[in-house]
Each structure stands twice: as structure tokens, then as C-alpha cells.
Amino acid sequence: MLAEEARDAVSDRWPQAISNGEVDRRALAAIVFDDPGELAALEAITHPLIFGRIEAELEGFEDVAVVEVPLIDTSLGWPRMVVDGPDEVRLQRAVTRGMAQDDAERRMKSQPDRAEWLASADLVIPNHGTLAELEATVAILAEYLSS
């Protein structure tokens, strides 16, 4: 349902970003990551749907939950953990995952900068090394939060 609602709203706003009845994420990215107003419009569509779904999924949940929210400002009021890595590392990882370097740079420029993320954090998780090192850090944190 969430995906259908978002797709319909995106289709209404940006019909050129629809291909074979589905959102063409690359086409949509080309529109929104070059224009802060368009990005805000996309966020106005998707954020209420996403946060509503998260809240519904966690209703009555009593344990520790970690939710990935790539935003600084949220209305959820939860403590914020920021996974931090240098911009050069973030860029290289995006390229390694198959994103064109210019596309990755454009997306990063549309996001809050590293200093803003760090300033918003209640807890910073370093992510300067390997995936295994990050997983080990997260395991320690999960154990701590669960106790």
C-alpha cells in the first residue's frame, strides 16, 4: 500500500519519472537532486507515508529498535545515532555500489553536510573502516542498548 500511494503521488507530480507503471528511480533522482524545491516536494510525499509505516510497525514494541532514517529533522522524537564516515569514503562506497560519481556527488550536495549530521547526533558510530568493523561496533552497541 505504501509503495502504491507513493507511486501514485509521484506519478501525479512527475509523470516523466514513471516507466512501465513504476517509479524510475534514476529519472526521479535526476529531477529532485538538482532542485531543492523538487526534493522538498518528494519528501512531502514520502516522509509522512514512511514515518506512518514505521510508527505502525513499532506500535507496542517494547525492545530496542534501530530504524534507518536518512534525515536530520524528524517528528519521531527518538534518540539519533549517526553512522559517520568521511565524505571521500562515502563517495567511494557509492561509486563502488554502481552509482556514477557525478550522480553520487550531486546527491551528497543535496544532503546535510557532515558537520550538520554530527551536530544532530546523540551518538556517533564510526564507519571509517570495513563492513566487518562496523558490524562489530553495532553488535557491541546493540548489546549495550539491550541490557
pTM above 0.85, yes or no: no
Range of 58's domain? 1-62
For range 121-144, the mean pLDDT: 90
- 51 with 73, same domain? no
- 17 with 76, same domain? no
> What total of structural domains would you count in the chain?
2
The CATH code of the domain that includes 130 is 3.40.50.300
- 47 with 113, same domain? no
pLDDT of residue 74: 63
- 137 with 95, same domain? yes
pLDDT of residue 42: 94
- 76 with 144, same domain? yes
- State pLDDT tens for residues 1-19: 558 888 899 999 999 999 9
- State pLDDT tens for residues 79-123: 888 999 999 999 999 999 999 999 899 889 888 899 999 998 888
Task: Convert 1-68 into a string of H (helix), E (strand) and C (coil).
Answer: CHHHHHHHHHHHHCHHHEECCEECHHHHHHHHCCCHHHHHHHHHHHHHHHHHHHHHHHCCCCCCCCCC
For range 57-79, the mean pLDDT: 81
Grid-cell match 553495532, residue found:
138
Q: Are 85 and 124 in contact (CB under 8 A)?
A: no
- 118 with 69, same domain? yes
